[in-house]
């Protein structure tokens, strides 16, 4: 969902982390981060929680954004 990928990208940028730095912290490839931020890969819940913990952000905010996006699509 676009709202979540945009939020995750913004949070990474607000933490002044490059995609490479985040990838290193997650022990993943830069390609993995790029795919998430471009919406080409959807995180599983465990991955999402780890991603948020690594960024030091509240995962509930992202979930709320998803709920709003889904609600807007069904209205």
DSSP letter for 58, please: -
Contact, 48 vs 59, CB < 8 A? yes
CATH code of residue 70: 1.10.260.40
**Each residue's pLDDT tens digit, 53-70:** 999 999 999 999 999 999
> How far is residue 6's CA from residue 65's CA, in Å, rounded to a whole number?
10
Comparing C-alpha atoms, which of 1, 59, 5 is closest to residue 36?
5
Domain count for the chain, please give it: 1
- Domain of residue 53, residue span: 2-74
pTM of the model: 0.91
**Each residue's pLDDT tens digit, 15-40:** 999 999 999 999 999 999 999 999 99
């Amino acid at each position: 969902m676009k709202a979540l990928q945009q939020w995750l990208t913004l949070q990474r940028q607000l933490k002044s982390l490059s995609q490479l730095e985040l990838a290193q912290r997650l022990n993943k490839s830069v390609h993995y981060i790029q795919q998430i931020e471009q919406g080409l890969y959807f995180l599983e819940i465990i991955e999402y929680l780890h991603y948020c913990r690594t960024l030091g952000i509240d995962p509930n905010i992202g979930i709320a954004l998803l709920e709003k996006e889904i609600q807007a699509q069904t209205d």
